[in-house]
Structure formats: C-alpha cells, structure tokens
Amino acid sequence: MTIHRTTLPLVADLNTAPPAPAVARPLRVALVNMPWALSDRPSIQCGLLKAGLEAAGHTVDVHYLNLALAVGIGSDMYLQIAEMPAERTLMLGEWLFTVAAFGPVGGEDSYRAAFPAVDEACAKLGLTFEKLCELRGTWLPEWLDKVIGDIDWKQYDLVGFTSTFEQNVAALAGAARVKRLAPTVPTVFGGANLDGEMGLEFVRRFTDIDYVVTGEGDVALLHLAAALSGGGSGLGLPGLAARTPDGTVRARPPAQVREMDALPVPDFTDYFLQLDRLGRRAALGGRPVHLVVELSRGCWWGEKHHCTFCGLNALGMNYRSKSPRRAIDEIVAMASASRNLVIDTVDNILDMRYLGTFCDELAGHGYDLSMFFEVKANLSPEQLRRLRAAGVTRIQPGIESLSTRVLRIMDKGTDLLTNVRLLKWARYHRIAVGWNILTGFPGETDADYLNQAEIMPALHHLAPPLAFGELWMERFSPYFSKPPAQFHDIRPRQAYAFIYPLPDLDLAKIAYFFDHTSESQVSPEAVATLAAAVEVWRDRWPPDRPGPSLSYQRGPGWIRIMDSRGAHRSEQYLDGWQATVFQMCGDSPRTVAGLRRRMAEAQDVPHVPAVGELSEFLDSCVAWRGMIQEGGRYLSLALPTASRGQH
C-alpha cells in the first residue's frame, strides 16, 4: 500500500491570517463531546472554543454525550473502555460505534479472530463476547438515536464535534443523526484526529461533515462562525477544509495561536451542570473530577530534537506557553470556581520557567492541589522539590528506556542515570511517576535489552514502568515521515479496516497509527528476558501495599542503609569518607575525579582517598546494588529517610 504523506500546506502564522470578520448576527452554536472522551474531566477543546465564541458574541451549548453514556452503561465500564490505550491495536471504543455509524456492517467474528485480546477485554468488562456484540449492534445505536433525538438541533446555526483518541466513529454516528434531524444546519469536525490530511479525507468521504478544522481550532472556528453569521460559507477560510460544489476538497493552512496569554480561560460550565443533572455518582462512580488546564502548546525539546517515534504536535511543534502569572491565575480561578483541586495539564512538556515564581507562589498559597504535568526526565532533585511543594503530585517524564544507547536512538535527550535519578527523587518527594519501556527501535541489540534487565532488581524500590511494549508508528513522527531502512511495509493499523468497513475511504489517509515490519536484530529470548524483569518489578508494587525501600539514616560520621529490595531485609553501615562519598553521589552522578575534587574542597572531610581506593569502594557499592554506574559516573540509589528540604 502507498502511504501518502501530508499534502496540506504547512501552518500559517496567526499574524499572517486575515483577522476574523465582524459578526453580523450572533449564532447559536452546539459543541458535542462524544464517547469515548474521559468522563471524569471536562473537554479542554470545547471549553476553550466556547469561551472564544462567546467572547465574540455567540451563544454556545456544550453537549457532554460521553457523560450520558457513562450513566447509561455504568461509570466503571465506560472508563475501562475509554482508558484502553488506543495504540494497543484493538481500538475497541471505535469498533463499538461502527454499527451506529455505518449500519449493520457485521464482521464480529473476523474482528475477534484478528484480535484474540478482545476476549481479555470482555473478561475485564464482565461481558461475554455476545453481549459486547449486542452493545455494538443494537444497544449503542438505539442509545444514540435517543440522546441525539432529545436535543433540538434546529435551534443551532452550527454544530461542532471534537475528536481526539477514540471519538471519531461516535462523532460520525452522531453527525449522521444530527443531519437527519436538522439537514440544513452545518456541521464542523475538529481535534487531533482531524489534523492535516486526515481531516481532508474525512470531509471528502463523509457528507455529514461540512467543514473540518485541520489544525488549531481557536482561530478557524471564529472565522467560520463570523462567515456563517454574514450568510457566507467556510470555503477558503484559514484552517478549514470543505467540499466545493463539484465535490473536491479545498483547504487553507491552519493559523496558530502565538500568544497563549491571549487565549480565553476555558468555560466548563456545561460539564458541571450536566454532571449535576445526571448525578456525579452515576456518571463517575467515586472518581474525582480532573480539571483540565492547557498552559502550553508544542514542545521545546521537539523543536530541536524531534523524538523519533513522536507524532504529537502534528502541525505545530514550535513551543508557546502562558506566562507564569497567567498560569497561576488560571489554576487558582478554576480551583476556586469549581471547588476541585485535582488538575491535569494537557501540555506535552513543562515550561522550565514554571520552576520559578509559578512553583513558589503556588507553594506559598498552601492549597492541597494535586497537579499533573508531563516533564522532561532531566529534572534535578531541587526542581522536583519545588514542583511537589507547588502541588504537583503526578508526572509523566519521557523515560521510555533504561538503555542510554536506545535513548540516543530515540533522540530523547536523556540517559540511564538521568532517568534513574528522576525516579529516585520523585519517590523521595512523593510524586507518582507514569512511565513506560518501549522496544523495537532500529539498531537495538540483545545487549541493550539484557543490560536493562540486569539493572532492574537494583531499582525495585522505585516506581516500576506502567507498560512494556513495542513502539507504535504514529503519523507525523520522524519514523513515519522518513522511515529508517530497517522499517518496511508501513500500513494503517489492522483495526482500521474493521472500524471503517468502507471501500471508498482511504485508510492510509485517515489513520494516525500504523503497523510496520521491522528487521530487528534482537532475539526473542532477549525480549522475553526484559519483559520478565519488568513483570517481576511490577509484582513488587501491588496496588494495596507500599513497594520495597532502600533508604539511609545519617548519624555523626556514619550512615545506616536499610534495604528491603531483596527477599530479606538487610542493614549496613558506612563510616567516614565512605559515608560522605555515598551521599555525594545522591543528587547527581559523580566521577572519581569529581568526587576527589569535591572532597578536597569540603571543610569537613579529613581524608581524600586515593583513586584506586575510591574506585574500589564505588565498585563495591555497585556490586551490592547501592549504586549504579555508567561511563565512569556513579549514582547512589538509597533515599534519605529524613525529609530535609521537603515541605
């Protein structure tokens, strides 16, 4: 199959986009958040667009049909399906809406045969496969008829569907019903699933979609609403794709927001109103609401070194972020208005400026915030301390591997010791870390896998990886746009053919995830060894018990190291300069020469050991797994028991 690279022109600067024309008359706009958007949080896209459109004079209702479905099938089952990672081949959420979208397409048995994991999914959901098929074949189409039929769509001048992750098919099914009930009301689709040429193919093939936003929606939707309010159309507007009367697709490059502070504060009113109307317990079970905040777009690391597997930021890697002042005000205002303290940022990477006044001021407020950030793994212990003091309790650093060689292949900008240092000090500061181990990179060898497996027992006191698996290929990633010689036969993920059983849809154009064949040099045995080592580590951290520990107490002239990583608890003392050296290797990896220099400069170190003596001691620490070493740099693994420096 030929994979088409994007044909959409590159992004236009917002400053070069024409200003939105004046609004001739205010419109009534509906925005729809379909399943399988997470039900425990409002939609940042809908909240932002509502605020922007209302500031321009329009009236906007956001319909959270994902909440309605959570109540309909049960909050637990809903979230289990919504949280199944889309890249993990099945795309179950999308498949479940295929009959609602395209009619009785059948194909259940062939889907099951292609994806035996569907039986595992059924077991987790407490359903038989037959019941799952009933959900797909009759229950969901009837449910959608009802919830769409309950809304008067004719009152609107424009209906928008947002689509990220597994929302495409439900949105198509919803749009078809809206068009049946209100054929003259224009529909617009937008969201990450429609970026670039994916959006062009959707608007070409699906006549229930009138317009597609092919990039950031903030400017495009304002232009569209203004044009419609004056009796015009969206044809030829920046960031919009549409069919011309002769059936071809016309698209203009999307405009980007440059000044993040100029964005409105998202309006989540509809989410909370509908949550209260439907009942929080029915919609969410016991889960708390996660407020969603967007403080930046793009990625400052990716601007310089695009990680080879990363397909994020399709058309806008250039980094833009809100000022620390605006970020603080927005977080405090949201927490105040909604009485929620659990806040998730949707940013790809933390703005390092926030380690200053942003952290200090939030720490000074003393609120019990629980914030989530994606961060780069090279945060220092002090930076982690500041984040925790500000209320950051959860992070996702791009760790991806414990092999420096593989991390270099990824162009990840981190290494083994940096990754371990982050895991260590995050645990010390009580910050939960979500991370994965990825495999399948071109140029890997058995040694890369076996070395990782070998060091893992030394790390059992640190948060284990959430998942272990082969990299998946994403549209817009360097591996997709310029595949390495070892990757062949790049094709849309197999599940797309089951999700879109439509002969006239070009799957290569609408797919975001791709399968590929790889000429791997790694043996199955090496993969199995690493997989087994990850499983052992994960087993040491059952959900209901604290994991193993490796910590030390500091006394006058000595430290006591307590270790529960192995089968038996053990304890040992280090005295004098050995205790000093062990602690000096705690914050950052140190070399023999660097340690000797620091010891010579320190006032309270009476004896600087010779090179041989020091090397021998460091290597002995590596042997009993008190340290790890790479390239002559040593990092000690034990955490201080004292909470010096913690808030």
Using the minimum distance from each CB to ligand SF4, give the nearer residue, 301 or 552. Answer: 301
Query: What is the closest distance, in whole angstroms, from the C-beta atom of residue 399 to ligand SF4 in the complex?
Result: 11
CA 638 to chain CA centroid, nearest Å:
30
CB of 173 to ligand SF4, least distance (A): 31
Between 349 and 511, name the residue whose CB sits nearer to ligand SF4.
349
Cβ 321 to ligand SF4 shortest distance, Å: 13
The structure tokens listed for 617 are: 């001691």
Q: Please report whether residue 312 would count as binding ligand SF4 according to CB under 6 A.
A: yes
The beta strand positions in 85-234, using DSSP E, are 158-162, 187-190, 211-213
Q: Is the peptide bond before 143 cis (omega within 30 degrees of 0)?
A: no
Residue in 398, 440, 548, 589 binding ligand SF4, rule: CB under 6 A: 398
CA–CA–CA angle 456, 473, 309 (5° rounding): 60
Instruction: List CB contacts of 590: < 8 A, sequence separation 6 or more.
Output: 584, 598, 633, 634, 635
Span of 287-295, 297-305, 358-366, 587-595 interacting with ligand SF4 by CB under 6 A: 297-305
3-state SS of the chain: helix, strand, coil percent to 5? 45, 15, 40
Range 147-206, binding ligand SF4 (CB under 6 A): none
The stretch among 15-23, 138-146, 294-302, 620-628 that binds ligand SF4 (CB under 6 A) is 294-302
397 binds ligand SF4 (CB under 6 A): no
Q: For the beta carbon of residue 3, count every other beta carbon within 10 angstroms.
A: 16
Amino acid at 279: G
Q: Decide whether 386 or 412 has the Cβ nearer to ligand SF4.
A: 412
Question: Toward ligand SF4, which CB reaches closer, 58 or 297?
Answer: 297
The three-state DSSP-derived secondary structure of 281-306 is: HHHHCCCCCCEEECCEECCHHHHHCC
The one among 50, 204, 243, 306 contacting ligand SF4 by CB under 6 A: 306
Region binding ligand SF4 by CB under 6 A among candidate stretches 121-129, 298-306, 495-503, 547-555? 298-306
Q: Give residues 322-351 in contact with ligand SF4 (rule: CB under 6 A).
A: 348-349
301 binds ligand SF4 (CB under 6 A): yes
Among 442, 10, 45, 595, smallest CA distance to 251 is for: 10
Stretch that binds ligand SF4, among 191-199, 296-304, 545-553, 613-621 (CB under 6 A): 296-304
Work out the number of other CB atoms within 10 angstroms of the CB of residue 262: 11
Binding of ligand SF4 by 438 (CB under 6 A):
no
Contacts with ligand SF4 by CB under 6 A: the residue count is 10
Residue 311: CB minimum distance to ligand SF4, A: 8
User: Interacting stretch for ligand SF4, rule CB under 6 A, among 95-103, 135-143, 306-314, 522-530?
Assistant: 306-314
**Tokens encoding 2:** 């030929």
Q: Name the amino acid, one letter, at 413.
A: G
137, 144 in Cβ contact below 8 A?
A: no
**CA nearest neighbour of 6 among 167, 211, 214:** 214
Q: Are 156 and 182 in contact (CB under 8 A)?
A: yes
Segment 69-108, which members bind ligand SF4 (CB under 6 A)?
none
Question: Is residue 302 part of the contact set for ligand SF4 (CB under 6 A)?
Answer: yes
Question: Can residue 307 be called a binding residue for ligand SF4 (CB under 6 A)?
Answer: yes
| Residues in contact with ligand SF4 by the rule CB under 6 A | 299, 301-302, 306-307, 310, 312, 348-349, 398
